[in-house]
């Protein structure tokens, strides 16, 4: 969360969160209520950022990302929050988490501004407040943007309240944080380690014999009874074998490591989707019911 004083939240009509990692076919997509995702038609130059914003560090960070990465802004109508303006930024975090869970995209949100990023060129010098939002390593190579469809945004809208509610569970919160911040790790090995920590956090201490029980529990949660569940369990077993090589310093080819990274990210996103649909992080009793149900 950015360091923002309460007074900063009271006199702003709309907040504009810079979003990278997504592509859209529409200029504007609405999540309903006070939330809109808007494509940026123009992007300020480094000089325009430095001239318009009150924060030079934010201007520098945004310039490093640039228009090749930051293609959209999440617009939140602050007036709709009335006396609950302190919920604006946590809600933005939940929306970004929902987008990552749904799409698996490598989304970045480096900064938030009180004016549209597309309009900064017309702002008076050093009059527009902007804050770091999600700090990252902007020099790292970014994945190709993922196409966001209206169905994806509808999923986020329909499940936003559940995502916010489940964040109170430390296991879910840890898994979401792993998915949202793994890109900040310095190497692909560390990224893989963080993603697997997110996967394992969802099962608490119940995975005593980690490799075996993890593949069984994930298969129970993700797939319906039948051949697909068995095949999924085998896939997770193979992934966990690779995980052991990666985390414990074994030799892994760079191409294989990159493939494994994508597989684990997709696995974690899929698990989170299932838990959100389930409405809670499953208990031992829940898993027993999944195991023995007809």
Predicted confidence at residue 138, as pLDDT, reads: 47
d(CA 280, CA 122): 47
- Calculate the alpha carbon distances from 19 to 10, 40, 181, 261, 262 in Å: 23, 10, 15, 22, 21
Cα dihedral 173, 96, 15, 60 sign:
positive
The domain segmentation of the chain, as residue ranges, is: 6-153, 168-292
pLDDT tens, 62-103?
Answer: 998 888 889 999 999 998 887 788 889 999 999 999 999 999
pLDDT tens column, 192-218: 999 999 998 988 665 445 666 777 788
d(CA 60, CA 291): 53
Q: For the segment 166-197, what is each residue's pLDDT rounded down to a tens digit?
A: 999 999 999 999 999 998 888 899 999 999 99
User: What is the distance between the alpha carbons of residues 64 and 27, in angstroms, rounded to a whole number?
Assistant: 24
């Amino acid at each position: 969360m950015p360091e923002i004083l309460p007074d900063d939240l009271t006199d702003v009509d709309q907040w504009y969160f810079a979003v990278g990692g997504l592509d859209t076919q529409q200029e504007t997509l609405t999540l309903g209520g006070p939330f809109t995702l808007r494509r940026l038609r123009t992007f300020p130059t480094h000089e325009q950022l430095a001239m318009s914003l009150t924060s030079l560090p934010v201007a520098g960070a945004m310039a490093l990302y640039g228009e090749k990465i930051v293609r959209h802004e999440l617009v939140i109508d602050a007036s709709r929050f009335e006396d609950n303006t302190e919920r604006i930024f946590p809600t933005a975090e939940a929306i970004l988490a929902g987008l990552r869970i749904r799409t698996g995209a490598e989304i970045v949100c480096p900064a938030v501004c009180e004016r549209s990023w597309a309009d900064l060129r017309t702002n008076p010098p050093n009059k527009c407040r902007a804050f770091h939002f999600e700090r990252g390593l902007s020099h790292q190579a970014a994945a190709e943007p993922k196409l966001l469809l209206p169905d994806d945004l509808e999923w986020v809208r329909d499940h936003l309240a559940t995502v916010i509610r489940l964040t109170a569970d430390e296991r879910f919160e840890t898994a979401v944080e792993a998915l949202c911040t793994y890109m900040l790790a310095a190497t692909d090995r560390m990224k893989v380690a963080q993603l697997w920590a997110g996967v394992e956090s969802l099962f608490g201490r119940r995975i005593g014999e980690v490799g075996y029980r993890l593949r069984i529990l994930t298969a129970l949660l993700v797939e319906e009874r039948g051949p697909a569940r068995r095949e999924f369990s085998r896939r997770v077993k193979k992934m966990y074998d690779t995980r052991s090589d990666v985390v414990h310093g074994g030799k892994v080819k760079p191409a294989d490591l990159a493939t494994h990274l994508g597989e684990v990210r997709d696995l974690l996103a899929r698990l989170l989707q299932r838990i959100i649909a389930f409405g809670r992080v499953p208990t031992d009793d829940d898993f027993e019911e999944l195991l023995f149900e007809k």
